[in-house]
Each structure stands twice: as C-alpha cells, then as structure tokens.
C-alpha cells in the first residue's frame, strides 16, 4: 500500500480490498478524472470501464485533458455511488451513505490496435452489457479520432459509509425523526430515437437494463 492512498481519517470506512474497489468501479457509470494543468486541478466527468487490472477511459484525441493524460501526467480517477442520506438528531451528524473508489496513477495511451478495439468494446459492454454485437463496430477512421487511456489499478482505495446515523448518546432522547433516505439509480422506460426505423422492438439488453 502506498502512503498516498493510505486513509488517514475515519479508517473504519476505508479498505484496500480489490474486490470492494472493483465492485464500485464496475457499478459506477461515470468517473471523475482529475489532472493538473499549470498547477490548477481540473476534474471532468467521463465514462469509464474496468478490464481486469486497468480502467479504460476514452475521449477525443483532440481534447486538452486527454492530451495531457496521454503525456503521462499524474491522474486521479474517482467513482462515487451515493446510497442514502443519513438524517441524524444533531445537525452536525448528518451524513451520506456512499461507496467511493479512488485510483492514483499515470495513464498509458493504448496504441496496440487489438487492445484499442478491446478497450472500446469493454467500455460499451460495461455500460450496456449485450450492446456491442448489436451495433456497427468502429471504423479505422473513428478509432484514429479517439484516444484510449488505461489507468492501472495499483494505488487504489475505497471508502464506504453505511448504516443508520450515529448520534451523541445524549441526543437519542430528542424528538427528531432519524434514519436514512435510501437513494439509488432509477432506470426509466427506454425512449426510442425519433428516427428509429419501423418495426424495431426494444431488445432485452435495453428493456431489461439493470445496474449494480
């Protein structure tokens, strides 16, 4: 374990178990990717997908963030899932139930054509399993216009908070309601493209879409 990812506070919430970290990376639909530009941190949301010991991100080959990452600058990728609002009897003990994973490292630009194709496939399949075989695969031109980055799962940690509020012992007698408002991802009814051709039904990988 590196010193940089060692959790220094509230350690009961921290873990370095790969199984836990991987589960958070896999359930989260978006990551927040941090890099530094001229001393200024920049945090951007991005789609991501884990494949074994790496997390892939993609973006336009022309984007400034992707170009900086491609130069191997230090990066931080954080995926957070919010599971509930924790309502305590005391104002300052309000909190959130969440699961969060953080990776530190430098991104590698994927150059190998086979790994590039596999990376793009991984991203599509992690976000909508069953989707890849149904759609037109990338052309050479599309692949050339898209940067694929791989961040190793090496310096990584997870933080998790679950369960009811923790109030000061004296406060349990207060008359306020206390507990958790659960939060989760709601998946709505699929909305067909207005230009969808007639006679194309909603396929199972769309109609039965679930997460986590």
Residues in 190-209 that interact with its own copies by CB under 8 A? 190-197, 200-203, 206, 209
Determine, following the binding rule CB under 8 A, whether residue 184 of this chain makes contact with its own copies: yes
Site for its own copies in 147-166 (CB under 8 A): 164-165
The region of 1-9, 19-27, 48-56, 107-115 touching its own copies under the rule CB under 8 A is: 1-9
The CB-of-17 to its own copies minimum distance in angstroms stands at 19
Cα–Cα distance, 124 to 133 (Å, whole number): 10
**Which position among 18, 71, 72, 174 is part of the footprint of its own copies (CB under 8 A)?**
174
* Contact (CB, 8 A) for 168 and 157: no
* String marking each residue 41-80 x if it binds its own copies according to CB under 8 A: xxxxx-x------------x-xxx---------xxxxx-x
The CB-of-22 to its own copies minimum distance in angstroms stands at 18
Site for its own copies in 99-118 (CB under 8 A): 100, 102, 104
Element (H, E) at 108: strand 108-109
Determine, following the binding rule CB under 8 A, whether residue 183 of this chain makes contact with its own copies: yes
Determine, following the binding rule CB under 8 A, whether residue 181 of this chain makes contact with its own copies: yes
Judged by beta carbon, residue 19 or residue 189, the one nearer its own copies is: 189
Cα–Cα distance, 196 to 112 (Å, whole number): 35
Site for its own copies in 8-27 (CB under 8 A): 8-9
Judged by beta carbon, residue 114 or residue 135, the one nearer its own copies is: 135
* Contact (CB, 8 A) for 80 and 111: no
Q: Show the CA angle centred on residue 20, arms to residues 18 and 25, nearest 5°.
A: 90
Cα–Cα distance, 2 to 73 (Å, whole number): 18
Determine, following the binding rule CB under 8 A, whether residue 138 of this chain makes contact with its own copies: yes
Cα–Cα distance, 162 to 150 (Å, whole number): 31
CA-based R_g, the chain, Å: 21
Cα–Cα distance, 103 to 118 (Å, whole number): 22
Cα–Cα distance, 157 to 101 (Å, whole number): 6
Determine, following the binding rule CB under 8 A, whether residue 98 of this chain makes contact with its own copies: yes
The CB-of-96 to its own copies minimum distance in angstroms stands at 6
Structure tokens at 161: 């908070």
């Amino acid at each position: 374990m590196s010193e940089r990812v060692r959790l220094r506070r509230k350690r009961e919430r921290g873990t370095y178990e790969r199984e836990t970290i991987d589960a958070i990376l896999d359930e989260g639909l978006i990551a927040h990717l941090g890099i530094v530009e001229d001393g200024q941190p920049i945090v951007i949301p991005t789609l991501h997908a884990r494949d074994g010991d790496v997390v892939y991100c993609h973006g336009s080959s022309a984007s400034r963030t992707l170009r900086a990452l491609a130069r191997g600058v230090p990066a931080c990728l954080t995926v957070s899932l919010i599971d509930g609002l924790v309502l305590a009897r005391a104002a300052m003990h309000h909190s959130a139930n969440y699961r969060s994973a953080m990776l530190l490292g430098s991104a590698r630009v994927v150059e190998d054509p086979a790994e590039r194709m596999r990376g793009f496939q991984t991203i599509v399949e992690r976000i909508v399993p069953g989707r890849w075989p149904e759609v037109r695969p990338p052309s050479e031109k599309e692949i050339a216009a898209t940067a694929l980055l791989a961040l190793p799962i090496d310096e990584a940690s997870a933080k998790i908070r679950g369960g009811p509020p923790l109030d000061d012992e004296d406060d349990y007698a207060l008359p306020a309601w206390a507990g958790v408002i659960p939060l989760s991802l709601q998946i709505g009814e699929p909305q067909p493209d207005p230009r969808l051709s007639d006679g194309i039904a909603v396929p199972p990988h769309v109609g039965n879409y679930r997460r986590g």
